[in-house]
Amino acid sequence: MKLLRHGPVGQEKPALVDAQGRIRDLSPVIDDITAETLRPAALAALRAVDPASLPLVEAPGRIGVPFRGPGKFLCVGLNYSDHAAETGAEVPAEPVLFNKWSRPSGANDPIVLPQGSVKTDWEVELGVVIGSKARYVSKGDALSHVAGYCVINDVSEREYQLERGGTWDKGKGCDTFGPVGPWLVTADEIADPQNLAMWLEVNGKRYQDGSSRTMIFDVATLVHYISRFTTLYPGDIISTGTPPGVGLGQKPPVYLKPGDTVRLGIEGLGEQCQRVLAWDAAQLD
């Protein structure tokens, strides 16, 4: 299934995408898509619903985060060897973990530059959404805890991340720095999460053109590894790293500026499109 939510912020309605690519209203079946909806039994109940029995959504408008109430927003750094090389970093011996403090935003919601930012960057990433509690899980069992996958733009302010001391988190957690969606594609529809093409363009120029095949630590390894440091619960999101082509790696570096348009996508998981706004041009709640 491809699950989504549409409508104004705070008023989103649940929906799914049928086999013909049409959006169907899930409101007759559930009030909303939440972390609880991602549990195996709840997803099985949704799969039993005939999409043809659901009303069509002709004009969905804004596409929100695919489910309400995301939990932890966990990220993996330097998880592609060629991306590590372009940033001048060594390939890590173990996964590099950090957090996004920001709430996830909709796939096409704007990216708002922090006040005074001059080094805001882009990163297309495969998102992994947890569907059942995972604590000290084996690698062989890890994927059974995954509800589904989605596109994430791990927007990053490089000055804050690398030049301001402390952890990476302060460069990763600014408001609007985590577009998620447009859909959550359930795990049964993704035959191999390690064989997905991924790309990103800024103002029509393609900068990233990679594949999840080149991850250093695959999805199963990441779920297994992270579950040894924190218990994962339904609705937790893991952003698994980015292939090469980020702005920091360009010669000279290229960063986002007001008026830019960022488009990105992952095979089978849909596309995002964000307009970049200056802080004083934005209305944030």
What is the structure's pLDDT at 284? 67
pLDDT < 50 stretches in the chain:
none
What is the structure's pLDDT at 89? 74
Residues 211, 153, 67, 100, CA torsion sign: positive
What is the structure's pLDDT at 82? 77
What is the structure's pLDDT at 97? 96
For residue 241, the SS3 value is: coil
Please give the CATH superfamily to which domain 73-281 belongs.
Fumarylacetoacetase-like, C-terminal domain (3.90.850.10)
What is the structure's pLDDT at 283? 61
Q: Which residue type is seen at 141?
A: D
Report which of 260, 259, 270, 126 is spatially closest to residue 204, judged by C-alpha positions.
260
- All CATH 3.90.850.10 domain ranges of the chain, comma separated, are 73-281
What is the structure's pLDDT at 87? 75
What is the structure's pLDDT at 149? 98
What is the structure's pLDDT at 282? 59
Alpha-carbon distances of 13 from 29, 69, 157, 162, rounded to whole Å = 11, 14, 32, 39
What is the structure's pLDDT at 227? 98
Q: What are phi and psi of 142, to 5 degrees?
A: -60, -45
Angstrom distance (rounded) from CA 145 to CA 192: 15
Report which of 130, 136, 92, 268 is spatially closest to residue 195, judged by C-alpha positions.
268
